[in-house]
Amino acid sequence: MDFISIYSQQIARHINGMLSVEEIAEMMEEPKLTQHGDLAFPCFQLAKHMKQSPNEIAKWLAEKIKSPSIAKVEAIGPYMNCFMNKKRASKQILRTIYHQKQAYGTHQFGEGKTITIDFSSPNIAKPFSMGHLRSTVIGNAIALIAEKCGYQTVRINHLGDWGTQFGKLIVAYERWGDEKTVKANPIQALFALYVLFHEKAEKHPILNEEARACFKKLEDGDGEATQLWTWFRKESLKEFTKIYELLGVTFDAYTGEAFYNDKMQDVISMLQERDLLVRSDGADVVNLEEADLPPCLIRKSDGATLYATRDITAALYRQVHYQFDKAIYVVGQEQAIHFQQVFLVLQKLGFDWAGNMVHVPFGFMLKDGKKMSTRKGKVVLLEEVLAEAVKLAEQNIEEKNPALGNKADVAKKVGIGAVIFHDLKHDRQNSVAFNLEEMLQFEGATGPYVQYTHARACAILRKAPVSQDMVEGLDDEFSWPVIKKLHHFPEIVMASLHSYEPSKIARFLLELSQEFNRYYGKVKILHDDPHLHDRLVLVACSATVLKEGLRLLGIHAPEEM
């Protein structure tokens, strides 16, 4: 049952085509005050067509609208407000959710289509910091939401496993490194060398030239440089895999920058054949003046390739191998111009599918109000944060529910879920302040609060399971806000995908949890009366939507806490 559609069609019948059903639906609002009904239609636009005041039109229309699904319509100033038939609507909504279970909120518009999602993409030989969390959890949530909408997704981890930083790292290892130390603790040891290189290079800039020369040797296939690079990559992937397992994140491909080394010349040749490459200060670039963008640098004067060269090559490879209908890049907002350049170069090459490539930017993870920097060693290691989160969750469970049988497993789900939810509840374009205390609070706008609400619903159902499929409907004032919220879940899923904004689902789950807990506090759910069964169905539907919503964010929903 779509409230907006029913109400919009009713209005359209009486206004002789002045506005379409779709236009009416777009104008519909939800009143801030519950006493003003469930939907409000502003009559300002009709006033232009009908040459009457919006207040008069609202009164006239209110008398015309009649439907079994609508209990009452009244004019409130220039608005015509609609009160849905709670019993009838709740019966339909609860029955739908109860029968569909976790399939509720599923859409089919993505069926038969493929989306590639490029996300996470940490740099080899650097620790997985809190700064990498954002791309990882935002990308994973978008993939899960896209799958809910019918898309086949290809999750790609475009590892930062090539570039001048490897020249720096090899120089640092050869000058100050020790094989035994690196083998004992690879990421920490290599990271320490990377930081040390930048400290030394500030006083001795010649080291940067040495690093560039070393990277050129690596590009040319030098045996010793390649051996070191292979070792650094292998050890880093082992460490990253541990993090991804903790977060419950998987990938279909780990094709990083180095994968495209032998494929870039074809792209350069293609650009030359189309007369798109021009020389600029010894380098090869594609001019993008028509889009008011700086030139896209394809090849430096020393012959070395750049990020743009690799991303253009990667896009061509992905289109051939995955035939994507849409390609999404979940990469920080500081790369916005880079992706504008890459997409435009592909369009200039004549590839129509380049119009279906999307950069999904996000803000920084801040520590003490500043962006974290791997060069200066100012990072907070994600693995340490996750371990601390699990530890604190375990302490909290020990205090509140010492008899819980599977404390370690629940603590893991709650602690890691808290970290993920803390990130995803923010609009992705906003920067997020790293605050361990805030993200681990078990009350307020947090993941544990939503998980606890789900566990509370499960506890009720353990005491009194739903015994039959029949639903009669509820019309009390406390159940209706919960039912209305549940009804919105499918549209929230769709809106979240269209805006690439998992925070819409996170905020929805917080609002649903608040409404459910308010209901729990006001109503004796297990009271033995004719409405007991329907109340239990409402609890079951709430548990279903909370669990499915958390799943779409990459978070588990324990049944006990």
Whether the predicted pLDDT of 377 surpasses 60: no
List, in order, residues 6 or more apart from 139 with CB less than 8 Å away.
Answer: 117, 118, 119, 120, 155, 328, 330, 360
Q: What is the mean pLDDT of residues 336-347?
A: 98
User: Closest by alpha carbon to 201, among 162, 163, 167, 160?
Assistant: 167
List, in order, residues 6 or more apart from 400 with CB less than 8 Å away.
Answer: 561
Asked if residues 250 and 155 have their Cβ atoms less than 8 Å apart, the reply is: yes
For residue 96, the one-letter residue type is: T
Q: What is the mean pLDDT of residues 247-261?
A: 95
pLDDT in tens, 410-449: 999 999 999 999 999 999 999 988 777 777 777 889 999 9
CB neighbours of residue 434 within 10 Å: 20
Domains of the chain (ranges, CATH numbers): 3-84 (3.30.1360.70), 119-371 (3.40.50.620), 382-552 (1.10.730.10)
Q: What is the mean pLDDT of residues 94-117?
A: 97
Tokens for 312, please give them.
């253009």
Whether the predicted pLDDT of 155 surpasses 80: yes
Whether the predicted pLDDT of 488 surpasses 90: yes
pLDDT at 183: 86
Long-range contacts, 69-77 (Cβ 8 Å, 24+): 69/1, 69/3, 69/6, 70/6, 70/7, 70/10, 72/37, 74/37, 76/36, 76/40
Whether the predicted pLDDT of 376 surpasses 60: no
pLDDT at 88: 94
Q: What is the mean pLDDT of residues 94-113?
A: 97
pTM over cut 0.75: yes
Whether the predicted pLDDT of 537 surpasses 90: yes
